[in-house]
Amino acid sequence: MFKTYYKLFLFIGILATLVNCANRGTPSGGEKDIEAPQIIRASPENYTTNFKGNEIKIYFDEYIKIKNVQKQLIISPPMDPQPDVTPLGSASKYITIKINDTLQANTTYAFNFGQSIVDNNEENPYSYYKYVFSTGNYIDSLSVKGAIVDAEKREPEKFVAVMLYEVDSTYSDSTLYKTQPKYVTNTLDSVSTFSIDNIKAGKYRLVALKDDNGNYTYQQKTDKIAFYDKEITVPTDSFYELKLFKEVPDFDIERPIQVAKQKIEFGFRGDYKNTTIEMLGPKPDGLEHRIVKDAKKDTLYYWYKPNVELDTTYFVVKNKTFSDTLKHRFRDLKVDSLSIRPLATGTINYDDDFLIEGNVPFDKLDRSKVTIIDKDSLNIDFNTEFDTLKNSYRFKFDKSEANAYKIQLLPEAITDFFGNVNDTLNYEFRTKKFSELSDVRVTLVDAVYPVIVQLTDDKGNVKYEKFADEPRLFDFRHINPGTYYLRVVYDTNGNSKWDSGNYLNKIQPERISYNSEIVEARTGWDTVYVFTLLKTDPDPIEN
């Protein structure tokens, strides 16, 4: 028995000792590491001249890894094929760069790592490290500086490539579509300013791309572009501001597809408004057609009657200088039945019209079978406008405060392209009380007319706008309360819309100026905003 108790007490004593030791020895974790990794050395040394090798190693005082290298690492001039950079997806105490390209003679190369180098544990970045070498006997040290602004949006794009093309005997305006630049940098994700460094003296073209596929060549369909109008001569002390914009693509058309009986789809890109589509070859007597633009997609629908009893035919599509002939194979599909819908329900703004659209082209409207009455059952006079491309009817009439309206279309009010008619259609909507809405007045100082004054949401969507070709006050009356951004479009050609630019034609986008003050449209308030504008775009700033 004694031995048994002795063993029990001994076990408890040993256990208590182990617990105490464990408590005393439990680490607290220490202070969080906030120090960035440090470079011990590089081989060859940074800023080496007469570089001859094909491998570079950069050593650190702790384990590091490389993050987001596809966006963060910028190599100038670009290399093709790209070098192999390790470690990727693992940790190491050194970075290895294996060069796969044939290096140009007497050229300074720069590897800008951005924020990609971080320590392995806390991911503290070694920010904007740059490794530079020259294949010649000196390092080029000149630079070109500037900033990128978005031509249309308030905020600039992130990760914009800024490039210099050397103006020599091989340069032309088409160079940037197929050839990589001489020098490149990137605005990365935190700033809109740029500095292209380690360049040599000479004449250059300055271009920026929001480069969708990262190959430093301009793809009009996907990329945004900015360019400086003239050649620049380096060295320069100028600070260049570039406006980034999306070009309206050159018009092109896709092969036709039968999507319903007597309805053929043509996908397109570019400006569709001058497009004609004509059927070639044998066709029925009295063939008629209508072209309608899809409300959401870049698609034109070719509607035709009577039905064509052929297996195949050809269409010729023209748009300004564009012309193409396309083969089409007919399919036996069901016909679309007429469907009509309103573009807005519920409440309506005082300046807005009531619109309806159909899925089959409208042919005519019988106004005698349309009535609009208010909440007091009074008939309201109205006018209509028909948009053949959008296939919509617009009902225009004066609206009064806190009123309710009913629109009725009796049977056969609308006849479609194939002779089908509507059943009875009833729509209702209302206007708000003035006390529920807000009034905003805008006064412009030093504006150059014509202009478009717009109130937008935080994403740049236009909510209200006013056009003027001479000085006036801009009154936005009875608008929905909320926070808006005030901007002015310099409508140079007076077509009442903002026009983008064109690189080949050396056309800059129409200027847009944003007011720094946010517009607070408050319920029941009348607010006045004064917006003073610069009369012209500033030239490059000389230091």
pLDDT in tens, the chain (543 residues): 444 444 444 444 444 444 444 444 444 455 666 788 999 999 999 999 999 999 999 999 999 999 888 888 999 999 989 999 999 878 999 999 999 999 999 999 999 998 899 999 888 989 889 999 999 999 999 999 999 999 999 988 988 999 999 999 999 999 999 999 999 998 877 678 999 999 999 999 999 999 878 789 999 999 999 999 999 999 999 999 999 999 999 999 999 999 999 999 999 999 999 999 999 999 999 999 999 999 999 999 999 999 999 999 999 999 999 999 999 999 999 999 999 999 988 999 999 999 999 999 999 999 999 999 999 999 999 999 999 999 999 999 999 999 999 999 999 999 999 999 999 999 999 999 999 999 999 999 999 999 999 999 999 999 999 999 999 999 999 999 999 999 999 999 999 999 999 999 999 999 999 999 999 999 999 999 999 998 665 555 544
Q: Pick the closest to residue 121 from 34, 28, 202 (CA basis).
A: 34
- How does strand 108-112 pair with strand 130-134? antiparallel
Backbone phi, psi, residue 326, to 5°: -125, 140
Q: Pick the closest to residue 481 from 433, 515, 529 (CA basis).
A: 433
Q: Pick the closest to residue 347 from 437, 477, 441, 459 (CA basis).
A: 437
Residue type, 84: D
For the chain, what is the total number of helices (H) and then of strands (E)?
Answer: 3, 43
What are the structural domain ranges in the chain? 39-134, 142-244, 252-329, 340-432, 437-542
Q: CB of 396 within 8 A of CB of 383?
A: yes
Can 252-329 and 437-542 be said to share one CATH topology?
Answer: yes
Name the token pair of 539: 């030239």
pTM of the model: 0.83
411: phi > 0 → left, psi -120 to 50 → alpha, else beta; which? beta
Per residue in 257-307, pLDDT (tens digit) is 999 999 999 999 999 999 999 999 999 999 999 999 999 999 999 999 999
d(CA 385, CA 396) in angstroms, rounded, equals 8
d(CA 342, CA 394) in angstroms, rounded, equals 10
Residue type, 136: G
- CATH class name, domain 252-329: mainly beta
Name the token pair of 329: 């194979």
Q: Pick the closest to residue 391 from 351, 347, 348, 339 (CA basis).
A: 339
Q: CB of 42 within 8 A of CB of 59?
A: yes
Which architecture characterizes domain 142-244 according to CATH? Answer: Sandwich (2.60)
Fold of 437-542: Immunoglobulin-like (2.60.40)
Q: If DSSP states are collapsed to H, E and C, what string results for 108-133? A: EEEEECCCCEEECCCCCECCCCEEEE
> DSSP strand E in 113-237: where?
117-119, 130-134, 142-150, 161-166, 183-186, 193-199, 202-210, 224-227, 232-234
Name the token pair of 325: 């002939």
Name the token pair of 1: 């028995």
Q: Estimate the share of the chain in helix, then strand, then coil, as percent rounded to the nearest 5.
A: 5, 45, 50
Please give the pLDDT value at position 4.
Answer: 45
CATH number for the domain whose boundaries are 340-432: 2.60.40.1220
d(CA 37, CA 93) in angstroms, rounded, equals 10
- Omega of the bond leading into 509 within 30 degrees of 0 (cis): no
Fold of 39-134: Immunoglobulin-like (2.60.40)
